Structure 1
Amino acid sequence: MDQKEKAAKLQVARQCAPVLAGIKISNLLILSRVSPLTVMRMMDGTGLSFDYLYCGCSRKVWLVYWLEELEAVLQKPEVQIFLREFGYQEFSCSSVLMHLKKRYQAYLRNEEGYPHELGVLLDYPLADVKGFMENKGQNYLYSGYWKVYSNAEQAKKIFARYGEARRRAVQLAQEGKGFREITGSIIKWREAAAVI
Structure 2
Amino acid sequence: MAGGRCELEKLLANHCAPVFCHKKASNLVAARRELLEALPEVLAGSSISWMKLCGCKKYCHILFYDRERLERYLKREEHQNFLGGHGYAGRTLEEQLTLLAERYESYQKHGSAFPHEIGLFLEYPLADIEGFIEHQGKDALESGYWKVYGDVEQARAAFRLYDELKAALTTMLAAGVSFRECCAAQAAA
Smaller-chain TM-score range?
A: over 0.9
**Matching residue of 1:121:** 121
Query: Within 2, Cα distance between the matches of 1:107 and 1:184?
Result: 36
**Matching residue of 1:74:** 74
**Matching residue of 2:43:** 43
Query: Within 2, Cα distance between the matches of 1:177 and 1:2?
Result: 15
**Matching residue of 2:24:** 24
User: Offset at 1:2?
Assistant: 4.3
Structure 1: gaps (5+ residues):
190-196
**Matching residue of 1:52:** 52
The share of aligned pairs that are identical, in percent, is: 33
- Bigger mean CA deviation after superposition, 107-116 or 152-161: 107-116
1:147-174: CA deviations, max 9, x gaps?
0000111111111111000000111222
Query: Within 1, Cα distance between the matches of 2:135 and 2:141?
Result: 12
Q: 1:26-175 maps to which residues of 2 (within 5 A)? A: 26-175=26-175
Are residues 164 and 17 of structure 1, via their aligned partners in 2, closer, same or farther at CA, if it must alter by over 3 Å?
Answer: same
TM-score by length of 1: 0.90
User: Offset at 1:123?
Assistant: 0.7
Structure 1's consecutive aligned runs of 4 or more residues displaced over 6 angstroms after TM superposition are none
* Greater relative contact order (CA < 8 Å, ≥ 6 in sequence): 1
Are residues 79 and 91 of structure 1, via their aligned partners in 2, closer, same or farther at CA, if it must alter by over 3 Å?
Answer: farther
Superposed CA RMSD: 1.6
**Residues 5 and 35 of structure 2 are in contact (CA less than 8 Å); yes or no, is this contact kept in structure 1?**
no
Q: Secondary structure of the residue that 1:109 maps to in structure 2? A: helix
Query: Within 1, Cα distance between the matches of 2:14 and 2:179?
Result: 12
**Residues 53 and 101 of structure 2 are in contact (CA less than 8 Å); yes or no, is this contact kept in structure 1?**
yes
TM-score by length of 2: 0.93
Amino acid at match of 2:60: K
**Matching residue of 1:193:** none
User: Offset at 1:4?
Assistant: 4.1
**Matching residue of 1:192:** none
User: Offset at 1:94?
Assistant: 0.4
Are residues 46 and 178 of structure 1, via their aligned partners in 2, closer, same or farther at CA, if it must alter by over 3 Å?
Answer: farther
**Matching residue of 1:178:** 178
User: Offset at 1:55?
Assistant: 2.7
* Count of residues paired in the alignment: 189
- Bigger mean CA deviation after superposition, 51-60 or 124-133: 51-60
Amino acid at match of 1:148: V
Query: Within 2, Cα distance between the matches of 1:111 and 1:187?
Result: 38
**Residues 107 and 113 of structure 2 are in contact (CA less than 8 Å); yes or no, is this contact kept in structure 1?**
yes
- Bigger mean CA deviation after superposition, 3-12 or 123-132: 3-12
